[in-house]
Amino acid sequence: MRLTLFATARDAADSLARHVVAFVREKPDLVLGLPTGRTPIRFYRELVRQARAGAVDLGRLVTFNLDEFLGVGPRHRGSYRFYMERHFFRQIGLPGDRANFLDGMASDPRGECERYERAIAAFGGIDIQILGIGGNGHIGFNEPGSWLEVRTHIVELRPETRRANALLFDGDPVRVPREALSMGVGTILGARRILMLATGKEKARAVAKMVRGPLTTDVPASLLQLHADVEVLLDAAAASRLDRA
């Protein structure tokens, strides 16, 4: 796991965007795994800016989002699909058939998870997976617990995660769905390269546990240590607990 430290969250996000621009220049039809949340907003903005400035053509990308709430449709303002359209896809005009999502309204959620795994495999797997981290150490929606599912699956969200996502649902954690669909840790580890963006002091504890180990399902992000090519881009606040015992 390589750590790169930046003075500010903005610097970290801009650097991540530069990484992705460089990768896309090398391979325009890159298969990119994408996160949502507050952290990557600046990253998407910078990527859009670079595309509009002509620095990179994002039109041939293939994307797979990490996760989605169960029971919300693409036009629901709380859905991750809505977030992605707003912050990225609508801005760059990516053809709809190149952006892949888990369908939160699927009548057969289990079948939907299997479909997603097949779709990722059909594109030859994910080249680069961008990740954020939850304050409790989750990645995607793989919540801490005594066990984890390997592949894309239905998850029950923890109260702290519902609280963290409340802003998407009029600030009311009760309105945040109790369940979601998420790539599994095995799906994530299947990506050829992983880049994580973690900023802010509320992530410092989870980042320290992820980096120091031990490997445990109680800190799903710690399992990223099993991957040979992970880079973590941090601001000073998120890195602030790394030097403590």
The answer to whether 141 and 80 have CB atoms below 8 angstroms apart is: no
Query: Can 136 be counted among the known catalytic residues?
Result: yes
Tell me which residue has tokens 């990516």. 94
Q: In angstroms, what is the minimal distance from the CB of 53 to ligand GLP?
A: 26
Q: Which of 25, 38, 49, 52 binds ligand GLP (CB under 6 A)?
A: 38
Query: Can 165 be counted among the known catalytic residues?
Result: no
Q: In angstroms, what is the minimal distance from the CB of 36 to ligand GLP?
A: 6
Which amino acid, 79? S
Which amino acid, 123? F
C-alpha span between 144 and 148 (Å, rounded): 8
Which member of 100, 136, 142, 165 is catalytic?
136
Q: Which of 100, 141, 204, 239 binds ligand GLP (CB under 6 A)?
A: 141
SS3 of 182-195: the string is ECCHHHHHCCCEEE
Closest CA to 156 of 174, 172, 180: 180
- Residues between 99 and 138 that touch ligand GLP (CB under 6 A): 132-134
Query: Can 231 be counted among the known catalytic residues?
Result: no
Number of residues counted as binding ligand GLP (CB under 6 A): 15
Neighbours of 159 (CB within 10 A): 11
Our measurement of the distance from residue 44's CA atom to the centroid of its chain's CA atoms, rounded to an integer in Å, reads 12
- Pattern of binders to ligand GLP over 49-88, x per CB under 6 A? -----------------xx---------------------
- Of 12-20, 37-45, 117-125, 230-238, which part binds ligand GLP (CB under 6 A)? 37-45
Both tokens of residue 194? 């992983």
C-alpha span between 90 and 22 (Å, rounded): 22
- Residues between 142 and 201 that touch ligand GLP (CB under 6 A): 161, 164-165
Query: Can 67 be counted among the known catalytic residues?
Result: yes
Whose Cβ is closer to ligand GLP: residue 56's or residue 83's? 83
The values of phi and psi at residue 62, to 5°, are: -120, 130
Q: How far is CA 126 from CA 52, 101, 201, 239, in A?
A: 25, 14, 30, 27
Residue 154: HSE in the Cβ half-sphere, 13 Å Cα cutoff:
15
Whose Cβ is closer to ligand GLP: residue 164's or residue 210's? 164
Using rule CB under 6 A, residue 140 touches ligand GLP = yes
Q: In angstroms, what is the minimal distance from the CB of 71 to ligand GLP?
A: 15
Q: Which of 35, 109, 137, 220 binds ligand GLP (CB under 6 A)?
A: 35
Contact residues for ligand GLP, defined by CB under 6 A? 35-39, 66-67, 132-134, 140-141, 161, 164-165
Residues with active-site annotation? 67, 136, 138, 143
